[in-house]
Structure 1
């Protein structure tokens, strides 16, 4: 039996490796898209039900209070604005208390007391 030489075709090996890698990435993306297509409507439906249940609960607790879905959505924005205002107020340096004037106690004369 004669000795045989084996030559490695690196170019074909790299091409095959990148092809299988791209195919794997595309399959993973397709699986994620299918997952999103089937789970996103369910998540949105449950989120809508949670909002409606919260509204019903608030209406039971406070019947005079008229809250809509838009109010709930805007409440988060208003909360962020309030926290920013509080942070800005807390960042201002405190005023020097020694410069504040303390009101003086003035004694009234007995004549003034009699007129009252």
Structure 2
């Protein structure tokens, strides 16, 4: 038998390793895509049914609470109407409030740090 010399080609080993890893990753992606083809339609149908049930539940709740919303709208409108004259007469009230605040500030002792 002749003696044979073994030459280690590191570049070829690294290239082959990366090629095998890339092939395994590509196979994983392919399997996931095929799984998604069969899984996604069922998931979307279940999600659509769940959303429709939720929407119908909320519409029933809103229909029952229409009287409450009408009352709240009326309260908001009356509050807005009441505040409009207050903003016009603001100068007299502001002077009275300012005097009260100034009296309170002068009567409080100063805090030392």
Higher helix fraction (1 or 2): 2
Q: When the two structures are superposed, what TM-score results if normalisation uses the length of structure 1?
A: 0.46
Q: When the two structures are superposed, what TM-score results if normalisation uses the length of structure 2?
A: 0.46
Higher RCO by CA contacts (8 Å cutoff, separation 6 or greater): 1
